[in-house]
Amino acid sequence: MSSQENCEILLPIPTLQPLDNDAAAISDDFQRYLTYHLGRFKGCTPAYIYQALSHTVRDRLMPHWQSTWLNHLQPQKRRAYYLSLEFLIGRALGNNLLNLAIENPTQEALKRFSADLEQVEEREPDAGLGNGGLGRLAACFMDSCATLALPVIGYGIRYEYGMFRQRIENDEQVEEPDHWLREGNPWEIERAEYHQRIQFGGYSEFYKDAHGEERVRWVGTQDVLAIPFDVPIAGYKNNTVNTLRLWKASATDEFNLQEFNQGSYTEAVQAKNEAEHISMVLYPNDSSENGKELRLRQQYFLASASLKDAIRLWKKGGGGDFKTFAADNVFQMNDTHPTIAVAELMRLLIDEYHLNWDEAWNITTQCMAYTNHTLLPEALERWPVYLFRRLLPRLLDIIYEINARFLRLVSRRWPGDTDRLRRMSIIEEGPVQQVRMAWLAIVGSFSINGVAALHSQLLVDGLFHDFYELWPHKFNNKTNGVTPRRWVAFANPALTQLVSSKIGDSWIANLQELEKLVPYATKKHTAFHKAWREVKHANKQRLATLVKQDCNVDFNPDSLFDIQVKRIHEYKRQLLNILHVIHLYIRLKNGKTDNWVNRCVLIGGKAAPGYVMAKRIIKLINRVADIVNNDEEIGERLKVAFIPNYRVSSMEIIAPAADLSEQISTAGKEASGTGNMKFMMNGALTIGTYDGANIEIMDAVGAENFFLFGLKADEVQALRHDYRPWDIAAQDADLKAVLDLIRSGHFNDCAPGEFEPILNSVLSANDPWMTLADFRSYVDAQDKVATAWQDQEHWTRMSILNTAHSGFFSTDRTMLEYNRDIWKLKAGAEI
Ligand code: 26W
């Protein structure tokens, strides 16, 4: 691309006027897209209906997108940038219809073409650009920022292949590529004119500039272009449309020109592929670092492109003197993944804009903020120094300098404390030197937060303690949330209608208003209670249909729906859940059916492709399901299903249908959890450990409306030294029976010993997740669940109270806290 192409020609583009939103206007536009744009002249496939409708809806976002952009770009308008390797946004069509308030006329318009809106929505592939909690959180944040009219731009990567599709074959997970862009993506707009050039490799060259100043430039690099694709993020009924800008990697034209000149034209063109690999695939690991070079390339690609773009926008809005840069811009780093941004901003300010070190460092440390999402040591990112030296040599120079200056500060504060210096050094010494990305994030940021109260506390008590002693003022908590638009108003229209019939509909944008439901919860035997149950029942029927379709298992909506959906990980303890299922099965086989409560247990989630134990757990769940579901003696009393390919759009059906939400991680391991909040909002009760945001959920709803069990985080720690799972198993007949049954091969499918590794892990004194330690109290809590379920009036009361007290867990509240404490942006048209 030549620089000329980069010049904007200022056409007098008018201010767009909102389009008509009645059924006639929508149907006219739809028809025009189908024919004039897509060239369908007679019949057409559902894929085209989806395309035409999406364009029709997107047009209706445009006037608001234009006005929001112009507003955001005003001079001296402070902006925040959310830097994230993941945005798990799911489907857009239904959500945009909701936020634009045009669901009804759209439905009507489609009827004229004998098309059904729900079926059309089903055509849309999920934008699966994330692994799990961290990625979905970023998407909920974007929704809330738009709804609050906060000037926040999301920056991410436009992966060609999102999160893999999971199939279950012979009870095991099989991964398939997710080519979600195959049929085109109507929700993105390419803005090639705003491309950025990203450097890799090469070396640092020292030179004297025209004024005789010593400077450094990064030369001899192999460059890649970053092309932005913009995705509109509509606020809820507020005429605001924010932007999610996703970068695609593209080869530069001069790529491998040398080879070309030597006559290897086709080889040179082929080599372009390599550059384009950067945005090819999302890494499907959600807890352990795999240290792949391509991943570091992705991280730098995102950080560099986004910072350069933010500087460009700032200049376009009148910025010029870097003294005001930190007053005008703030960058929120979603975990350590984009943390190389700290060094990249230093590089840009020093090498490109010729600021001196101190000026650059002042700016950088006033505009970077870091959110931590995990305490698991294996998830802490470290990159080998040799990789940095090869890929990002100039960035390594800068990291070394940041570290040298930082360590001087530490040694002034704690003279002679070499152990502390070793602990706090950004460079970890050892056989292979490593860059500790979390340390770089902390040193470079003015704000560091965890994602739930307990998590933030554990960070400053443990992992980040040394840094907390140095800079206590930097540390804060921001408890996560979820957007009530997608997770209640869109996913659960029947509940939305019922709630609104009692308290009006302003709760959708002000979730604390759900408290007004409390009086309706406490009065029993009302029509409202009955209607509440009917809504849940209908939602359960819908889920039962999906389970039948995807798992071929019969779920009866009259049973208790007991659900655990999330990534498969040992710390999340899907195993504890399945041990309980086996325990129930044994009870039934022993004829202990007094006061029995029929249960449908649903488990879903993806395992990282290289995580052998997680995959084995999936297999065990499927084997148990097979045996239990096909046992005639068991019948409807117990059903078990593993739902394949759990993703955002499946949660939209699952959350509204849950009676019981399983949040059973080992205490101290789940940073927050956000599925717990989606279930609560939709009226599920939680069975949970004292972990992450569960604690705050219980505080909000009251312990009498929550099934708490298990060791607390400090008790887990204390027990570690003397953990004897063998003794626990020997002393608990129920647990022993469960383990014996697994060991006996009862659930194996002609593969003797295949679950031995699972038994060994839970029976190991070193089991980090201490599954057996919580077995008894889990089973007891589950018995309390069953007893509670038998009093349906009381259960309904508890269910309503869960929804009523879920207001705190809206990302609107989370975003207002980020804004109050960290970003300090002005909403809407204010400057
Ligand atoms: C480097 C590989 C890697 C990739 C992703 C390590 C770790 C991650 C994420 C931090 C995993 C994640 O999604 N964490 C979850 O973040 C949610 C949002 O804050 C929390 O609610 C969950 O408790 C946390 O597990």
Per the residue annotation, which of 248, 308, 373, 606 is the catalytic one? Answer: 373
Judged by average pLDDT, the poorest of 169-178, 522-531, 563-572, 788-797 is: 522-531
Q: What angle do CA 246, 188, 38 make, to 5 degrees?
A: 155
Give the atom of ligand 1 at the shortest distance from the alpha carbon of 371.
19
Per the residue annotation, which of 60, 136, 158, 566 is the catalytic one? Answer: 566
Give the atom of ligand 1 at the shortest distance from the alpha carbon of 295.
1
- According to the model, what pLDDT value does residue 4 have? 45
pLDDT confidence of 3, banded at 50, 70, 90?
Answer: very low
Has 79 been annotated as catalytic? no
* Residue 381 CB–ligand 1 contact under 6 Å: yes
- State the chain's maximal CA–CA distance in angstroms: 91
* Residue 644 CB–ligand 1 contact under 6 Å: no
Has 316 been annotated as catalytic? no
Distance CA 257, CA 631 (A): 67
Has 566 been annotated as catalytic? yes
Residue 830 has pLDDT above 70, yes or no: no
- According to the model, what pLDDT value does residue 268 have? 74
Residue 178 has pLDDT above 80, yes or no: yes
Residue 416 has pLDDT above 90, yes or no: yes
Distance CA 611, CA 379 (A): 13
* Residue 126 CB–ligand 1 contact under 6 Å: no
Cβ(796)–Cβ(495) under 8 Å?
Answer: no
Nearest to 633 by CA among 579, 590, 599: 590
Residue 2 has pLDDT above 60, yes or no: no
Rounded distance from Cα 610 to ligand 1 centre (Å): 17
* Arithmetic mean of pLDDT, 9-13: 80
Distance CA 334, CA 72 (A): 22
CATH 3.90.180.10 is the classification of domain 541-782: no
Distance CA 639, CA 547 (A): 11
Which tokens hold the place of 514? 């759900």
Among protein residues, the one with the nearest Cα to ligand 1's atom 5 is 286
Cβ(518)–Cβ(801) under 8 Å?
Answer: yes
Rounded distance from Cα 373 to ligand 1 centre (Å): 5
Rounded distance from Cα 554 to ligand 1 centre (Å): 33
* Residue 374 CB–ligand 1 contact under 6 Å: yes
- According to the model, what pLDDT value does residue 831 have? 53
Q: Which helix (H) or strand (E) holds 200?
A: strand 196-200
Give the atom of ligand 1 at the shortest distance from the alpha carbon of 379.
6
* Residue 691 CB–ligand 1 contact under 6 Å: no
pLDDT in tens, 729-785: 999 999 999 999 999 999 997 888 999 999 999 999 999 999 999 999 999 999 999
* Residue 137 CB–ligand 1 contact under 6 Å: yes
Per the residue annotation, which of 616, 678, 797, 805 is the catalytic one? Answer: 678
- According to the model, what pLDDT value does residue 255 have? 61
Residue 236 has pLDDT above 60, yes or no: yes
Q: What angle do CA 236, 241, 243 make, to 5 degrees?
A: 125
Rounded distance from Cα 285 to ligand 1 centre (Å): 10
- According to the model, what pLDDT value does residue 257 have? 63
Distance CA 320, CA 781 (A): 62
Q: Which helix (H) or strand (E) holds 231?
A: strand 222-234
Rounded distance from Cα 133 to ligand 1 centre (Å): 6
- According to the model, what pLDDT value does residue 10 have? 75
Choosing from 287, 380, 459, 697 the residue with most ligand 1 atoms within 8 A of its CB, the one to mutate for a pocket test is 287
Has 746 been annotated as catalytic? no
- According to the model, what pLDDT value does residue 83 have? 99
Domain positions in the chain are 541-782
- According to the model, what pLDDT value does residue 260 have? 64
Cβ(301)–Cβ(278) under 8 Å?
Answer: yes
Q: What angle do CA 233, 496, 29 make, to 5 degrees?
A: 45
- According to the model, what pLDDT value does residue 7 have? 64
Rounded distance from Cα 665 to ligand 1 centre (Å): 14
Has 674 been annotated as catalytic? yes
Residues facing 524 on adjacent strands? none
Residue 612 has pLDDT above 50, yes or no: yes
Phi, then psi, of 492 in degrees rounded to 5: -130, 70
Cβ(427)–Cβ(348) under 8 Å?
Answer: no
CB contact set of 502 (below 8 Å; sequence gap of 6+): 516, 517, 520, 528
pLDDT in tens, 86-110: 999 999 999 999 999 999 999 999 9
- According to the model, what pLDDT value does residue 570 have? 98
Has 473 been annotated as catalytic? no
Cβ(76)–Cβ(831) under 8 Å?
Answer: yes
Distance CA 259, CA 256 (A): 6
Rounded distance from Cα 131 to ligand 1 centre (Å): 8
- According to the model, what pLDDT value does residue 741 have? 97
* Residue 673 CB–ligand 1 contact under 6 Å: yes
* Arithmetic mean of pLDDT, 234-247: 98
Residues facing 661 on adjacent strands? 563, 686
Choosing from 335, 339, 811 the residue with most ligand 1 atoms within 8 A of its CB, the one to mutate for a pocket test is 335
Residue 519 has pLDDT above 80, yes or no: yes
* Residue 287 CB–ligand 1 contact under 6 Å: yes
pLDDT confidence of 263, banded at 50, 70, 90?
Answer: confident
pLDDT confidence of 73, banded at 50, 70, 90?
Answer: confident
Residues facing 230 on adjacent strands? 189, 245
- According to the model, what pLDDT value does residue 625 have? 98
- Residue-wise DSSP of 24-60: HHHHHHHHHIIIIIT---S---HHHHHHHHHHHHHHH
User: Is the backbone of residue 668 left (phi > 0), alpha (psi -120 to 50) or beta?
Assistant: left
Give the atom of ligand 1 at the shortest distance from the alpha carbon of 136.
18
Mean pLDDT of the chain: 95
Phi, then psi, of 13 in degrees rounded to 5: -80, 125
Rounded distance from Cα 671 to ligand 1 centre (Å): 8
* Strand, coil or helix: 425: coil
Distance CA 146, CA 144 (A): 5
Distance CA 96, CA 582 (A): 43
Distance CA 679, CA 158 (A): 29
pLDDT in tens, 192-220: 999 999 999 999 999 999 999 999 999 99
Among protein residues, the one with the nearest Cα to ligand 1's atom 1 is 289
Rounded distance from Cα 438 to ligand 1 centre (Å): 14
pLDDT in tens, 278-322: 999 999 998 777 779 999 999 999 999 999 999 999 999 887 899
* Arithmetic mean of pLDDT, 365-379: 95
The 10 Å Cβ neighbour count of residue 588 is 18
> Which residue in this structure is represented by tokens 């206007």?
25
Distance CA 800, CA 491 (A): 17
Handedness of CA 591, 592, 594, 597 (dihedral sign): negative
Handedness of CA 160, 163, 169, 173 (dihedral sign): positive
Per the residue annotation, which of 364, 371, 479, 674 is the catalytic one? Answer: 674
- Residue-wise DSSP of 700-769: HH-GGGSEE-S--HHHHHHHGGG--HHHHHHH-HHHHHHHHHHHTTTT-SS-TTTTHHHHHHHT-TT-TT
Among protein residues, the one with the nearest Cα to ligand 1's atom 7 is 287
- According to the model, what pLDDT value does residue 318 have? 84
- According to the model, what pLDDT value does residue 42 have? 87
The 10 Å Cβ neighbour count of residue 596 is 14
